Amino acid sequence: MRTSLFAAGAVAIAAALTLAGPAQAAESDAQLSVLHGVPGLTVDVWVNGERTLDDFTPGTLAGPLALPAGDYELAITAADAADASAPVIGPVKVSLAASGNYTAVANLDAGGKPTANFFTNDVSRIDAGKGKLTVRHTAAAPAVDVLAGGAPVISGLANPNEKTLTLDPGTLSVTVAAAGTTAPVIGPADVTVAEGTHTVVYAWGSLADKNLKLAVQNIEGLHSAPAGVPGGRSGAADAGTATGAQSAATVGIGAVILLLLAGGVAASRRQKPLRRVL
């Protein structure tokens, strides 16, 4: 599930996590990943008045980071601003709760305006012999169909919605097309669904600007079998060329993923929106 955020909020939280993450994770810490999916936007990110990320560029990823519960005041400014006194977005106050697995995505809305979305990742156990695939539409594009092997498996997915499938393990040849059509606007790209893994695919970028991309995130260790690894561990899938602060998949026309943020209730499908600080 997702909650709309300020674009800067998601980016800023990612920066906060990079510098403020604890040296040793506690069991109650939340895991947060963030994808910067706003093409052409370079910014500075400030947390509690301190610059935490300088010249943060699109396609950068990081995560996941384990963060304790707490409150953060975030602001985003033009690149190389002297301080956070004149933010272009924010400040935004975010409260992070204990436990949970989340991805914040700074992206474009369907009309092409910078925004952000905060997704709760399902880290519940997956039935033995199965994997999960979630597709999230975070691109400046109309509703799309997702096709595997030329046949639609997800229809009419609109920004900023998502759809989850439970599948047999295997590698899918995936394309994204305008709803009701089959001509690819992204792909074809190979996406691997592994047993006990929740694979999350993000469509981001802009159809009008012809820079649509896919980003792939893997949340591993969700096996139901006794041999499975407990918990939900996020990571980047290798579906192409690895780039960014952590291994990431470049799929089809290119991609990058993940940049951490924080908090919420484990495996909860409720989201808590950011609150604007007046």
**pLDDT given for residue 174 in this prediction:** 94
**pLDDT given for residue 106 in this prediction:** 78
**pLDDT given for residue 231 in this prediction:** 46
**pLDDT given for residue 205 in this prediction:** 94
**pLDDT given for residue 88 in this prediction:** 66
**pLDDT given for residue 243 in this prediction:** 31
Residue 8 three-state SS = helix
**pLDDT given for residue 26 in this prediction:** 81
Nearest to 147 by CA among 184, 110, 202: 184
Q: Write out the H or E segment, with its range, that includes residue 78.
A: strand 70-78
For residue 200, the enclosing domain spans: 2-276
Q: Angle 40-45-48 (CA atoms, 0-180°, nearest 5)?
A: 160
**pLDDT given for residue 70 in this prediction:** 73
**pLDDT given for residue 71 in this prediction:** 72
**pLDDT tens, residue by residue, 169-201:** 999 999 999 999 999 999 999 999 999 999 999
Is the pTM for the entire model greater than 0.85? no
Number of domains in the chain: 1
Low-confidence ranges of the chain (pLDDT < 50): 3-22, 229-233, 235-278
The residue with tokens 């996941």 is 64
**pLDDT tens, residue by residue, 210-255:** 999 888 999 999 998 655 544 444 544 333 323 333 333 333 333 3
Mean of per-residue pLDDT scores for the chain: 73
Q: Write out the H or E segment, with its range, that includes residue 148.
A: strand 144-148
Q: Which residues contact 93 (CB under 8 A, 6 or more apart)?
A: 71, 72, 73, 74, 274, 275, 276, 277
